[in-house]
Amino acid sequence: MSAVRPADLAPDLRQGIRRARLDGRPVVVKRDPGAAAEAAGLRWLAVPGGPPVPEVLAAEADWLVLDEVPAGSPSREHAAEFGRRLAALHAAGAPAFGAPPPGGAVEARIGRTAMRNVPGDSWPEWFAEHRIQAYVERADLPERRAHPSRPPGCTATCGPATSCGRRPGCG
């Protein structure tokens, strides 16, 4: 395979995703500020016996070139196979809930939403605080607007009418 220069595959791509061909092979070119974190995460998820994960062919600053994962047709057999592969991925383990991937950043994104990859002791609490709450903050829900005393960036998992005590002024 030739040396991959993402900008050569999609020179006019400002942000987003584009399909392209590299040495006759279908690839996906992404331009996004979270490309480095995504590359680290994809490399970490590619475990032997795990689910199909696109191979990272190149990653530069805000560029990413990935193998295109072929589409499939759903079936019971495929679902069972995916379940076995997902179990293999989970069996590979991580140092803690929320730990960043090796070489990955603590500050990351899922889509356009900022997320933090920080270790935690309890899955439900970690997931609520570091994943769900980020979407709640971004959604600007009526409950959030009704309680403006909660400081911007507060990621504590308290209800809108209670004070969690985990962040100054949260409540």
Report which of 59, 40, 51, 106 is spatially closest to residue 80, judged by C-alpha positions.
51
Question: Do residues 87 and 135 share a domain?
Answer: no
Tell me which residue range forms the domain holding 63.
6-69+82-92
User: How far, in Å, CA of 132 to CA of 150, rounded?
Assistant: 16
> Per-residue pLDDT tens for 7-46?
667 766 767 888 888 888 999 998 888 888 889 999 999 9
Is 76 inside a domain boundary? no
Beta strands in 71-157 (DSSP E): 107-110, 113-116
Question: Do residues 105 and 65 share a domain?
Answer: no
> Per-residue pLDDT tens for 68-115?
988 888 999 999 999 999 999 999 989 998 999 998 888 888 877 888
Is 75 inside a domain boundary? no
Our count of domains for the chain comes to 2
Question: Do residues 109 and 58 share a domain?
Answer: no
Please report, for residues 10, 80, 95, 118, the alpha-carbon distance to residue 22 in angstroms, rounded to integers and kept in the order given. 11, 33, 36, 36
Question: Do residues 36 and 103 share a domain?
Answer: no
Question: Do residues 87 and 108 share a domain?
Answer: no
Question: Do residues 113 and 139 share a domain?
Answer: yes
Residue that is written with structure tokens 């490309």 in the block: 35
Question: Do residues 103 and 155 share a domain?
Answer: yes
User: How far, in Å, CA of 46 to CA of 67, rounded?
Assistant: 13
Question: Do residues 104 and 32 share a domain?
Answer: no
Question: Do residues 104 and 132 share a domain?
Answer: yes
Phi, psi of 109, deg, nearest 5: -140, 150
Domain boundary among 60, 92, 124: 92
Is 115 inside a domain boundary? yes
The CATH number of whichever domain residue 12 belongs to comes to 3.30.200.20
> Per-residue pLDDT tens for 131-167?
998 888 888 766 655 555 555 555 555 544 344 544 4
User: How far, in Å, CA of 92 to CA of 49, rounded?
Assistant: 10
